[in-house]
Amino acid sequence: MVTQAILIPLLPLISFTMIIFFGKKLGTKSALIAIAASVGSCLLSASVVLPVILNHGTALHASLTWLMINGKPIEFGILVDPLSSVMLFVVTFVGSLIVIYSVGYMHNDPRFSRFFAYLSLFLFSMLGLVLSSTLVQMYFFWELVGLCSYFLIGFWFEKYEAAQAGRKAFITNRIGDVGFFLGIALFFYTTGTIRFIDITPEFMHPYANTAVLTFATILLFCGAIGKSAQVPLHVWLPDAMEGPTPVSALIHAATMVVAGVFMVARLWPVLETFPNASQTIAVVGTTTAFLGAFFAITQFDIKKVLAYSTISQLGFMITALGVGGMGAGTFHLMTHAFFKALLFLGAGSIIHGTGTQDMREMGGLRKAMPNTFWPLCIATIAIAGVPPLSGFWSKDEILTSAYLGNHRVIFWILMITAMMTSFYMFRLLFLTFAGKTRGHIHAHESPAVMTLPLAVLAIGSVLIGLPGSPFMGHWFQHFLEPHAAVHMDTFVMIMSVASATIGFIIAFICYFVKTDLPQHLAGQFWMFYDASRNKLWFDEIYNSTFIHAFKWISRISFRFDSNVIDRTVNEIGRKTVLTSRIKRWIDQYIVDGLVNFVGFSAQVSSGLLRMIQTGFVQNYLLFMVVGLLVMLLVAVK
Amino acid sequence: MTLFQFLATTAFYAAMLGILIAAALCVTVRNLFHSAVFLAFTLIGIAMLYFFLQAEFIAAMQILLYVGAIMTLIVFAVMLTSRMGNPAVPQSFKNKKIVFLPLGLVGFILISAILKTPWETSEPQTAVNAVTLGKALMNQYVFPFEVVSLVLLVALIGAIVIARSE
Amino acid sequence: MHIPIDHILVFTSILFLIGLYGALSRRNAVGILISIEIMLNAVNVNFIAFSRSFASSPESGQIFVMFAIVLAAATAAVGLAIVLNIYRNQKTIYTDEIHLLKW
């Protein structure tokens, strides 16, 4: 069992390694490797998840101690419990479909094989994150997932906006991750453990009133704010649409952005213990849900609409976790993965078929692209929350949790948000597929390799809600939370259906019947229109404050570096030259002088000694006289 | 001191002076002939000295051998190499001044040593004349006498051998 | 007459040095021989002076001088024979020009 669990992330890693090294030679065959790896992981996940379902609980926990701090171990391991099983299913299933879809979408790209390498690396990172048994390990894969996101967003890096978007995503994520890491450190310091298996309600109970841990929980949540695009760190997600659409589908809709939700769900016992923290989380989530929907209603880029929709739905999930519905939040995560992936892949199909992303140029595509239209239609109905499709069940669960938890304000805001959701989604549908084509586009249907995943996901969007519905006795929620009770409130259900219907009607009127009404309304409520269109100027405010300040700091640092440090280096260089010049002088005059002197003295002495033997008799006689003189001197003295 | 003694002493000193002058001229003149002549004068003067020093036999020998034979020899040699005795060509070296220093020093030391030594002279008991010399030669110094004659023989033969023309 | 011995000794020293000077400074080989004769003569005078002044064995000095003269003659003979030979071979008797054995 451990082998199978380890292989789940390992297969995509092997696929990544192979494609990275042999991609040029393999060419289009690298896609097959990636597909094989992801489908293999899917099948292995099924085999691993089965025991969990049968046991109604944790099936596998295996770990290795990496290091010890203060006598407490930091471990790396594998944890397969109900929550990670859900994630395994979602990631591998939806992931495989998207990998297959990418074969068609990235068909003519010059860096075809590298895309699949990155996709494989991402699957490895995400699966590693899902199977993590400790917070530290999760953080490790968290960062890795962020790195893959950077690679994939900036895949077409020749385009300036794409490179910028990748950088923005990574940096914004990192800001959240600072809080995440501090939270981990604080948590470890206070409780002495970071293993998920240790974090149970009984374990957390003694710490119930510690302010430190409340603060630590909020810090941990900061990671989710960054990764799951909550307000105020949501600004990277719309820009991330610069990446190829399969990337948007996989990472920024179905899997990576929900890592934050997954992490908060993992820390469920912690949230139960600290009501202040969960309150904060709920508020953040609700704000995000509302603002996301608010921005989505005026966007014209099809992918931007879906991006803000994702932000809004993530807000729903986080709110669910904040108000006490862990099962509801996770349920919505699963259903959202299906219909949001479907929406993105469908948008990708439209972009592939029409060549444009601007909805103002689209229209009347229903006839030209029927294989894309019907799945998208199903997805829109699902996300709007129309029963009996999956979206309804999950969204209803969230609303019920809010309502029954006495969070009235949150409940009504979510209700309005649900209405807005229905509105902008049907707006998208009508603008794209209904009426007559406005722009000069020639639409053609996408190939089967792209439309077949759409069909599969559409079936999934319909059926995936059933495990959590009353038709199956709320099996899903009981699977995740064996001890919690599941309630269904009639009032909430009726309100939920009503809001979806109202949204549909408004969209129908604006975009199907009276098509000049939107401009009229935009003119009337121009303040709201501008605020929505400009995303409440979040990017502009950040730019003029934080970014501006950091650029100033970096400019000063650069000047310091070039003046002080480079000057120091130059001075050292100059001193070295000076030293070498001195040494040259020493070498030339002193050393060479000594050597020359030795030769010179040899010459002189030999010259002197030479005179002893001149071959000249009278010189010898003179030397004899001198010798005589010496003897006389000696004798006389 | 009688007049005779006075004259004798003066003559002795004059002879010494003459010898010195002659010797000095002998070594400095350029012409080799003149040098030979001055050598002759020197030798004759020394013979005179011998007479004053009561060594008559030696004086006679000096004149006979030195002035008679050796001078002849030297004159012959000078004449045979007469082209070389040309006064136009310098007979001594250009930087001969350098020898003055050691010579001067040696001389100074010698003369000062001589003058400082307290010589204890005494008159000889017996006179020396040919008879005593002959007796000494035959009795005491017979061996050197024979050896010297051998040396003369060898020198004679050697000179002939060396100097004969091929 | 009584001449103090040191005068004679001084005289012979000077004569000897004159001869030595000549031996050192003469270029001509015959000239050197002449100077050597002077030196030998000075030494002879020295011997005679000593033999006259000291009582023991006065004839030994004179015997010695005899031998000295004889040997001087032999020396002169052989020396001049050599000089003649050299003159015949090298056509020169200047000592500084005779340097066959010099490197």
pLDDT in tens, A167-217: 999 999 999 999 999 999 998 888 888 888 888 777 777 877 778 888 888
- Residue A507 confidence class, pLDDT cut points 50, 70, 90: confident
- Residues listed for chain B: 166
Q: Which amino acid is at A318?
A: I
Q: In terms of pLDDT, which residue wins out, A521 or A593?
A: A593
pLDDT interval class at C101 (50, 70, 90): low
| pLDDT number for residue B1 | 63
Taking contacts as CB-CB distances below 8 angstroms, the residues of chain A near C95 are: 616-618
Please name the residue of chain C whose CA is at the shortest distance from the CA of residue A610: C103
Please state the rounded mean pLDDT for residues A591-614: 86
* C67 pLDDT above the threshold of 90: yes
Q: Which of B121, B141, B146, B166 to mutate to test the interface with C (most CBs of C within 10 A)?
A: B121
Structure confidence by residue, pLDDT tens digits, A401-420: 888 877 888 888 999 999 99
Tell me how far apart the alpha carbons of residues C3 and B10 are, in angstroms, rounded to a whole number. Answer: 10
pLDDT band at residue A74 under the 50/70/90 scheme: confident
Higher per-residue pLDDT: B23 or C102: B23
How high is the pLDDT of residue A298?
Answer: 85
Q: Provide the shortest C-alpha distance from residue A636 to chain B (in Å).
A: 8
Interface test with B, best of A614, A619, A625, A630 (most B CBs within 10 A): A625
CB–CB contacts below 8 A, A to B: 21
The pLDDT of C71-85, averaged and rounded, is 92
Tell me the per-residue pLDDT of A103-149, one tens digit each, with 9 for 90 and over: 888 888 888 888 999 999 999 999 999 999 889 999 999 999 999 99
What residues of chain B have any CB closer than 8 angstroms to a CB in chain A?
A: 93, 98-99, 102-103, 105-106, 109-110, 113
Instruction: Supply the ipTM of this predicted assembly.
Output: 0.89
Report the range out of A36-45, A458-467, C47-56 with the highest average pLDDT.
Answer: A36-45
Given an 8 Å threshold on Cβ–Cβ distance, is B124 in contact with C55? Answer: yes
- Report yes or no: A351 and A441 within 8 Å, Cβ to Cβ: no
pLDDT (tens digit per residue) in A349-408: 888 888 888 877 787 787 778 888 888 889 998 888 888 788 888 888 888 888 887 788
Residue C45 has pLDDT above 80, yes or no: yes
The pLDDT confidence band at residue A589, using thresholds 50, 70 and 90, is confident
Give the range among A378-382, A436-440, A581-585 with minimum mean pLDDT.
Answer: A436-440
Beta bridge partners of A78: A62, A132
Say which DSSP state A78 is in: E
Please state at what angle helix A275-296 crosses helix A302-322, rounded to 10 degrees.
Answer: 160
Whether A625 has its CB under 8 Å from any CB of chain B: the answer is yes
Q: Which tokens go with A195? A: 């293993």
Q: What is the mean pLDDT of residues B64-70?
A: 93
Report how many Cβ contacts below 8 Å link chain A to chain C. Answer: 21
State pLDDT tens for residues A223-254. Answer: 889 888 888 888 889 988 888 989 988 887 77
pLDDT of residue A626: 87
Whether A482 has a pLDDT exceeding 80, the answer reads no
- From chain A, pick out residues whose CB is under 8 angstroms from the CB of C99: 615-616
In this complex, do C102 and A618 lie within 8 Å of one another by their Cβ atoms? no
Q: pLDDT value at position C3?
A: 80
Residue B33, Cβ density class (10 Å: 0-12 exposed, 13-18 middle, ≥19 buried): middle
Domain boundaries, chain C: 5-97
CB of C89 less than 8 A from some CB of B: no
Residue of B nearest to A628 (CA): B106
Q: State the best of B91, B106, B110, B115 to mutate against chain A, taking most chain A CBs within 10 Å.
A: B106
pLDDT at C8: 92
Tell me the nearest-neighbour CA distance from C34 into chain B, angstroms.
7
Partners of chain A (3+ Cβ pairs below 8 A): B, C
Q: Over 60: is that where the pLDDT of A632 sits?
A: yes
Which residue, A491, A281, A285, is CA-closest to A404? A491
Name the more confident of A511 and A128: A128
DSSP state letters, A18-33: HHHHHHHHHTTHHHHH
Q: According to the model, what pLDDT value does residue A272 have? A: 82
* pLDDT at position C1: 54
Q: Which of A124, A126, A127, A131 is nearest to A76 (CA)?
A: A131
The verdict on B67 touching C (C-beta cutoff 8 Å) is no
Cβ–Cβ under 8 Å, residues A163 and A45:
no
Q: Which of C31, C37, C70 minimises the CB distance to B32?
A: C31
Residue A407 sits at φ, ψ, to 5 deg, of -100, 80
Cβ contacts of A620 within 8 Å, gap of 6 or more? A614
Distance of residue C89 Cα from the nearest chain B Cα, in angstroms: 11
Is the pLDDT at A59 greater than 60? The verdict is yes
Q: For A31-48, what is the mean pLDDT?
A: 88
Q: Is B97 a residue whose pLDDT tops 80?
A: no
Q: Could you tell me if C46 lies within 8 Å of chain B, comparing CB atoms?
A: no
Euclidean distance between CA atoms B58 and B68, whole angstroms? 14
| pLDDT for A21 beyond 70 | yes
Residue B90 has pLDDT above 70, yes or no: no
**Nearest residue, CB atoms, C95 vs list A618, A622, A625:** A618
| Nearest beta carbon to residue B103 from set C21, C34, C92 | C21
- Give me the amino acid identity at A51: P
> Measuring CA to CA, which residue among A469, A104, B141, A46 is closest to residue C57?
B141
By the CB < 8 Å criterion, does A622 face chain C? yes
Could A626 and B102 be called an inter-chain contact, meaning their C-beta atoms sit closer than 8 Å?
yes
Measured between beta carbons, the chain B residues lying within 8 angstroms of A632 are 106, 109-110, 113
The answer to whether the CB atoms of B66 and C74 lie below 8 A apart is no
Arithmetic mean of pLDDT, A596-609:
89
Judged by CB atoms closer than 8 Å, whether chains meet at B102 and A625 is answered as yes
Residue range C5-97 forms a domain whose CATH class is mainly alpha
Q: What are the residues facing A195 on neighbouring strands?
A: A134
How high is the pLDDT of residue C103? 60
CB neighbour list of residue A500: distance below 8 Å, 6 or more residues apart: A384, A385, A386, A392, A418, A419, A422
User: What is the C-alpha to C-alpha distance for residues B79 and A158, in angstroms, rounded to an integer?
Assistant: 118
Percent of chain A with pLDDT over 70: 98
Measure Cα distances from A172 to A150, A224, A366 in Å.
Answer: 11, 12, 39
Q: Any chain A CB within 8 A of the CB of C103? A: yes
CB-based contact C99 A616, cutoff 8 Å: yes
Residue A625 and residue B113: Cβ atoms within 8 Å?
no
Residue C102, min C-alpha distance to chain B (Å)? 19
Mean pLDDT of the A324-344 span = 88
Structure tokens at A524: 């009337």
Q: Do C23 and A621 touch (CB under 8 A)?
A: yes
Q: Is B36 a residue whose pLDDT tops 90?
A: yes
| Contacting subunits of B (3+ beta carbon pairs below 8 A) | A, C
User: What token pair was written down for A623?
Assistant: 């030397």
pTM score, whole prediction? 0.64
pLDDT higher at A527 or B92: A527
Average pLDDT, stretch C39-45?
95
Answer with the residue of higher pLDDT: A155 or A489. Answer: A155
Q: What pLDDT is recorded for position A523?
A: 73
pLDDT of residue C74: 94
Q: Is the bond into B144 cis (omega within 30 degrees of 0)?
A: no
The pLDDT tens digits of the residues spanning A530-550 come to 788 777 888 888 888 888 888
> To the nearest whole number, what is the mean pLDDT of chain A?
85
Considering only alpha carbons, which residue of chain C is nearest residue A622? C24
Taking the CA of residue A629 and the nearest CA in chain B, the distance in Å comes to 5
Burial A321-354 (b: 16+ CB within 10 A, else e): bbbbbbbbbbbbbbbbbbbbbbbbbbbbbbbbbb
Interchain pair A625, C24: CB under 8 A: yes
**Chain B contact set for A628 (CB, 8 A):** 106
Residues 6+ apart with CB under 8 A from A318: A224, A228, A230, A260, A261, A264, A281, A282, A284, A285, A288, A329
Write down the pLDDT at residue B86: 57
Query: For residues C42 and A32, which has the higher predicted lDDT (pLDDT)?
Result: C42
Say yes or no to pLDDT of B91 above 60: no
Most A CBs within 10 Å, among C17, C24, C100, to test the A interface? C24
**Residue among A611, A623, A625 with most chain C CBs within 10 A, to mutate:** A625
pLDDT at B150 over 60: yes
Residue of A69 and A119 predicted with greater confidence: A119
> In which region does residue A159 sit, left (phi positive, over 0), alpha (psi from -120 to 50) or beta (all else)?
beta
Angle at C36 between CA C33 and CA C37, to 5 degrees: 90
Are B115 and C10 in contact (CB < 8 Å)?
Answer: yes
Q: Residue C43 pLDDT > 60, yes or no?
A: yes
Within 8 A of C96 by CB-CB distance, chain A residues are: 616
Nearest Cβ partner for A622 among B102, B109, B113: B102
Residue of B nearest to C42 (CA): B46
Assign A68 to helix, strand or coil.
strand
Which is more confidently placed, B58 or A472? Answer: B58
Q: Do A629 and B102 touch (CB under 8 A)?
A: yes
Q: For A636, which of B98, B102, B113 is closest by C-beta distance?
A: B113
Choose from A619, A631, A632 for mutation: most chain B CBs within 10 A: A632
Query: What distance in Å separates residue B146's CA from the closest CA in chain A?
Result: 32
Whether chain C has a CB inside 8 Å of the CB on A616: the answer is yes
